[in-house]
Amino acid sequence: MKRLTVILVVYASLALFAGAAFAQDSNASMDDIMHDVVESYAEIVLASYVDSLALAEELNVALQEFVADPTEDTMAAARQAWLAANEPYGQTEAYRFYGGPIDDEDGPEGLLNAWPLDEAYVDYVEGDPDAGIINNTEDYPEITKDLLISLNEVGAEENISTGYHATEFLLWGQDLYEDSAGQRPVSDYTTAPNADRRGQYLLIAGDLLVENLDDLVQQWDLNNEDNYVWTLHDGPADVALTNMLTGIGVLSKSELAGERMFTAWDNQDQEDEHSCFSDNTHRDIITNFMGVQNVYLGRYERIDGTVIEGEGLASLFEEVAPELNVEMLELLELAAQQVNDILVPFDRAIVNADSRPHVFDTVFTLQDIGDKLVELAASLDLVIDTALPE
């Protein structure tokens, strides 16, 4: 992929408060370091969205093949494609929480990855065979893209009709089992009531994933004009840096440690898992953390195995706040080990007496990372808020 070039003007006000932090004999000027850090960030963001789009397109093909010929094999292939598609997308969660193109007023985040999902809003559930949009033929005689968009998060946050988790539910069904993920039967797409509507819904959900991810790719492609990435060119450097730190700070401390891990740990309820239908929450935790690590280190491994590596936040703070930077790197190393050591599946980890303490310790490390980012930001006279936006 062609390397992005982001020309960043470092304003005099930024130089006044940060320039003194750099050794006078350093070969890297403030301009050079800031240019490289933001350039690497923009390149990583674009590459990870391009990868997410590519695997969403592969998922879409698998969904089309499954709906055209619903068998155990085509369903298994569609499920595997969904799992693969979540690997790069999980890492893009680090680009949220600061009003960027994913979650500004017009951003598609709610259509892509909103959760937790009320299963009965979409389809039948245990004890209610007529539940959901799919089975409500009177109010929704035709399932269309516009309908599903219009119904997303209407009436309650859990009323989610599109995105990765709606697609996940349509492939796996409810997870009612301790020893496996959901076990939706293939017959739901062949002989079950409203099988054709269920298939149509699944296809539209897949199309929407591709459509919304393509929009994000366009927003981060520097070859386009008047898109979001150009705000990095035109705006103050301290704003870009604040956004980067805010994104990974909120994700680590509040979203991942809090909403996605501690809530489920505290309630001991698999319904509070991020990917409860597929039992893939352990991978969500790992890939979300990887997103934090990617931004801080300035490194991203693409789905084809190639590595984008440049100057990350670590490069900047090595100069500005070397002791804090070492502490941050140690926390990242600890968290990397911890998230990979969580018992699989996560719905067992939150109830198993032996594994619950490890989950709790991991939550605290991720919170510590968020707090350390606040300290690092302060070393540049920047203020970040690691609480979830209202």
User: What CATH number has the domain bearing residue 106?
Assistant: 1.20.1420.20
* 278 falls within a domain: yes
Query: Please, which residues bridge with residue 308 across strands?
Result: 300
Residue 261: predicted pLDDT:
97
Which segment of 185-194, 221-230, 368-377 scores lowest on mean pLDDT? 221-230
**CA-based nearest residue to 247, from 128, 354, 102, 378:** 102
| Cβ atoms < 10 Å from Cβ of 150 | 10
The residue among 21 and 182 whose pLDDT is bigger is 182
Asked if omega into 108 is within 30° of 0 (cis), the reply is no
* 294 falls within a domain: yes
Helix 164-172 and helix 195-220, axial crossing angle in degrees, nearest 10: 150
Using pLDDT thresholds of 50, 70 and 90, give the confidence band for residue 32.
confident
* 274 falls within a domain: yes
What pLDDT digit, counting tens, does each position of 260-314 carry? 999 999 999 888 899 999 999 999 999 999 999 999 999 999 999 999 999 999 9
The model's pTM is 0.92
Residue 34: predicted pLDDT:
76
* 389 falls within a domain: no
- As for how many domains the chain has, the answer is 1
Residue 330: predicted pLDDT:
98
**Residue with token string 């309908």:** 147
Average pLDDT over residues 325-330: 98
What integer best gives the mean pLDDT of the chain?
A: 91
* 341 falls within a domain: yes
Phi/psi of residue 246, nearest 5 degrees? -65, -45
Rounded Cα distance, 301 and 76, in Å: 26
| Cβ atoms < 10 Å from Cβ of 12 | 7
Residue 218: predicted pLDDT:
97
What pLDDT digit, counting tens, does each position of 233-268 carry? 777 888 999 999 999 999 999 999 999 999 999 999
DSSP reduced 3-state for 125: strand
**CA-based nearest residue to 297, from 307, 284, 286:** 307
* 198 falls within a domain: yes
Residue 125: predicted pLDDT:
98
**Residue with token string 């870009």:** 240
Answer yes or no: are the C-beta atoms of 361 and 376 closer than 8 Å: no
Average pLDDT over residues 80-109: 96
* 5 falls within a domain: no
* 384 falls within a domain: no
Using pLDDT thresholds of 50, 70 and 90, give the confidence band for residue 24.
very low
Average pLDDT over residues 151-156: 96
Domain with 210, as residue range(s), is 12-378
Residue 4: predicted pLDDT:
37
| CB-based contacts of 268, cutoff 8 Å, min separation 6 | 350, 351
